[in-house]
Amino acid sequence: MINRRSFIASLSILGLGSITPTNKPASAAGFFSSAQADDRVYWARLLYSIAYPVCFHLSKNTLKQQMPVEVNTQFSHATERARYTHLEAVGRTLSGVAPWLRVEGLTGEELNMRDHLRSMIWEGLTHIADPAAPDYLNFHQGEQPLVDGAFLSLAFLRAWNVLWEPLDNTTQKRIIQAIQSQRVIQPPASNWLLFASINEAFLLQAGEKPDLQRLWRGVQAFKEWYLGDGWYGDGPELHVDYYNAYVIHPFLLQIYDVLLQHQMVNSEEYHQIVVRMQRYGEEQERFISPEGTYPPIGRSIAYRIGAFHALADLALRHLLPTSLSPAQVRCALTAVMKKQFEASGTFDQQGWLQIGFCGHQPQAANVYISTGSLYLCTHGFLPLGLPPDDAFWKQPDADWTAKRAWTGTTFQADHAL
């Protein structure tokens, strides 16, 4: 367990104790885009820039006051989305940065940035379930909070010793009660079932009694909704979108992690989940064009590189299929990042993400999308949870499949699972 108080006190030694949005670059492309920067430096600077406004204002109890609430104005529902957008920003940001928060072996600038996020997040987590705090968040009014309470549960499960264990007892109890309060929300027969399931997996991990019906309902549903070749239905039917990556594969695998640890599933059942995700990861890598683009298909494309959550999670876990080298996945994801995050209008003047797929494109948002929703993009950065000496970072640059295919270079034939 990390000593939270002594860690925060040490930040002044690191030179990070007084960083504010006015003196730390949060949106300037020059901060994270550098011809001299290697991929890891680029990723770390970019993720820090994305996460910084959320974490800073949460730590200061000013997230609700300062975070904009942008929506697609065709729908005229900004007031409604403001009920949910702050928990969206927190849950999605934390579950995306969680692996980076726990990694060892960092030095220099990256260590300072990562540790600064840690300290801000620890402080901010004391506010989200405190009824007296300005940033007390909505966990159970309406249906949307179930989604982002689940992303918060995912964050804790991904970095238990760094995000959960350092919290004081009062904060832990309040967060547990907040997640339990979401049991009043009944998920529809879709990927939402996994949000209820992962909440119960978190409660089980925290030593609480889970609601076994909610825990198993999502698990059992996706056994029935597997359609083949790495694809699940979102419900009984196929949806041609990125929800297999945004939610289904990564959430299922994290739930199975907990179930396996508690001997509630066996290794064969776990392996089946992994194999299906690996096949989907192969397909994901082939979606990335030689230029670093991918099809803007389906719901929620404003999540940007969050569309590759599943592929990034496989890389983080050292579970990439043998057909994919870590280097080609790194280079493919880096190309996507540069295409999307260096586009004009991606960030506003205060460093907040703006709605879009490549730049500022408010009309690309579905009715449920607002500013907080956009922070699911952080899930494309999960491999930062691998240490700097990992093969993912150390292997020489390599072309990904589509880049090889479209330049006449030999590449591996594809085959269904």
Buried b / exposed e over 160-182, threshold 16 CB at 10 Å, is: bebbbebbeeebbebbbebbbeb
pLDDT digits (tens, 9 = 90+) for 206-226: 999 999 999 999 999 999 999
The parent domain of residue 397 ranges over 4-17+39-405
pLDDT digits (tens, 9 = 90+) for 90-112: 999 999 999 999 999 999 999 99
Whether 24 maps to a domain, the answer reads no
Calculate mean pLDDT across residues 331-353: 98
pLDDT digits (tens, 9 = 90+) for 362-401: 999 999 999 999 999 999 999 999 999 999 999 999 999 9
Structural domains of the chain, count: 1
In the structure encoding, which two tokens stand for residue 89, read together? 């920003």
What local confidence, expressed as pLDDT, does residue 79 receive?
80
Whether 128 maps to a domain, the answer reads yes
Please say whether the beta carbons of 33 and 338 come within 8 A: yes
What local confidence, expressed as pLDDT, does residue 286 receive?
98
∠ CA 309-82-135, rounded to 5°:
85
∠ CA 179-184-187, rounded to 5°:
90
Calculate mean pLDDT across residues 48-76: 95
CATH of the domain at 343: 1.50.10
Whether 417 maps to a domain, the answer reads no
Q: Which residue has the tokens 């591996």?
A: 412
Whether 411 maps to a domain, the answer reads no
Whether 33 maps to a domain, the answer reads no
Whether 400 maps to a domain, the answer reads yes
What local confidence, expressed as pLDDT, does residue 80 receive?
87
Whether 357 maps to a domain, the answer reads yes
Buried b / exposed e over 6-15, threshold 16 CB at 10 Å, is: eebeebeeee
pLDDT reading at 3 higher than 90:
no
pLDDT reading at 182 higher than 70:
yes
pLDDT reading at 265 higher than 60:
yes
pLDDT reading at 7 higher than 50:
no
Which range among 67-81, 327-341, 346-360, 383-397 shows the weakest confidence by mean pLDDT? 67-81
More confident residue, 75 or 138: 138
Whether 252 maps to a domain, the answer reads yes
